[in-house]
Amino acid sequence: MRNTGAESLYVIAVLLVLFSASDGVAALEVKCDSFTPGQIWKDNNGVHINAHGGGILIYEDIYYWFGQHMAEGRAGNKAHVGVHCYSSADLYNWKDEGIVLEVSNDAESDIVKGCVLERPKVIYNEKTNKFVMWFHLELKGKGYSAARSGVAVSNTVTGPYTFVRSFRPNAGCWPVNVREEQKKPVETEKVKEKKFSGGPDATLKDYNVLGRDFEGGQMARDMTLFVDDDGKAYHIYASEENGTMHISLLSEDYLEPAGKYLRVFEGRWMEAPAVCKRNGKYYLIASGCTGWAPNAARSAVADSMWGPWKELGNPCVGQGSDKTFGGQSTYILKVAGKRDAYIVLFDIWRPKNAIDGRYMWLPLQFTGEGIEIKYLQEWDLSCFE
Ligand code: GAL
């Protein structure tokens, strides 16, 4: 159908009214007022948020979301850009704060472009007034064998963050629950030659991986940080070839391990850890070890970060729960100013085109015994009221 002159004038008039509204173009901006797990999530520039394996810091009433910036294609799973940050006052609408830690062009740097830089988390140290970032680092060209922790620091929440160093944590230090046989020399064992794949291996128990890494430091891959009410911070990481997790106390400035750590979930092959605290109890959500492919989530509860930790099983319920509804945990957010409002952040990885990875945020429910997560297609914060 052809437009008549009168119709065209009408369309122009409507557009003029919209643009001349008091807040101009902003009147046309689409604001979000709900979470839509798995869908494209646009930032203030209309671009899908790029902060995978992320975590959230609340600072001066604003939420800051830090995550790994993924690029296009399969190669986009590696770090070509750095750590991306977004800010929000309401958790639905996010402003792009840019790249806060850039990977380096210097071939000698541990964080040279093309390294693997995953699961960055930022915490604020009240004593030093510094923002401290920890992440899982794999050195360029070495697959996932380096299994190191990276640390970066900034005076301002949105950076830029300065890379401090990378290392394997807890070198020369035994965990609080070490067994005497683990302290014996490992030379006579085959552990140094044994190759593990990063996934379940029933022979793990025959090798003293902890002892093997005593001098050089413990392997640290998937990780999170948790700051307790008393200001003590913990680094929780998949260690010992991914077979066993470690919960490691950080120094007062949060820049290094304090030299006290606990082995947990021995031989359970858990990764993607996320921790929260509610009514004095600590809850942990994690996944099994199947790379980018989803598997059934795990959960556990304890009265102290030092354990004992009791496994509670898969917290997800309903259809799709055996594969965590397609996701993998990365963080548990306690919503500011609300009682008992906790959100579990999951990634939905798209390894063939990493930049298209999605987010699945779901409310965490506390049952008498443990925790429960149900899939919701769309929801908002009023579910906590
Ligand atoms: C997953 C891990 C991700 C990433 C991936 C690489 O198991 O949770 O963070 O490392 O493996 O395959």
Beta-bridge mates of residue 359: 347
Establish whether residue 53 lines the binding site of ligand 1, counting it when its CB lies within 6 angstroms of any ligand atom. Answer: yes
Residue 8 pLDDT? 55
Q: Which atom of ligand 1 is found nearest the CA of 289?
A: 7
pLDDT at 27: 46
Helices (H), the chain: 5-19, 209-212
Q: Is the CB of 274 under 6 A from ligand 1?
A: no
CA–centroid distance, residue 290 to ligand 1 (Å):
8
Phi-psi region of 265 (alpha: psi -120 to 50; beta: other; left: phi over 0): left
Q: Does 259 contact ligand 1 (Cβ within 6 A)?
A: no
What's residue 245's pLDDT? 98
Closest CA to 70 of 359, 362, 378: 359
Q: Tens of pLDDT along 293-352? A: 999 999 999 999 999 999 999 999 999 999 999 999 999 999 999 989 999 999 999 999
Of the residues 292, 329, 330, which should be mutated to test ligand 1's pocket, given the most ligand atoms within 8 Å of the CB? 292
The pLDDT assigned to 185 comes to 86
What pLDDT does 24 receive?
45
Asked whether 222 lines ligand 1 (CB < 6 A), one says yes
β-strand partners of 79 = 115
Determine the pLDDT at residue 334.
98
For β-strands 148-154 and 223-227, DSSP reports them as unpaired
Q: Tell how far the Cα of 27 is from the centroid of ligand 1, in angstroms.
A: 41
Q: Are the C-beta atoms of residues 121 and 23 closer than 8 Å to each other?
A: no
C-alpha dihedral, 340 to 245 to 116 to 198, nearest 10°? -130
What is the per-residue pLDDT for 22? Answer: 43
Q: How do residues 18-33 score in pLDDT, each as one tens digit?
A: 444 444 444 456 799 9
Q: What is the pLDDT of residue 368?
A: 84
**224 CA from centroid of ligand 1 (Å):** 13
List the domains of the chain with CATH numbers.
Answer: 268-385 (2.115.10.20)
Pocket lining: 291 vs ligand 1, CB cutoff 6 Å: yes
The β-bridge partners of 244 are 239
Q: What is the largest CA-CA distance in the chain?
A: 91
Low-confidence stretches of the chain (pLDDT < 70) are 1-29, 188
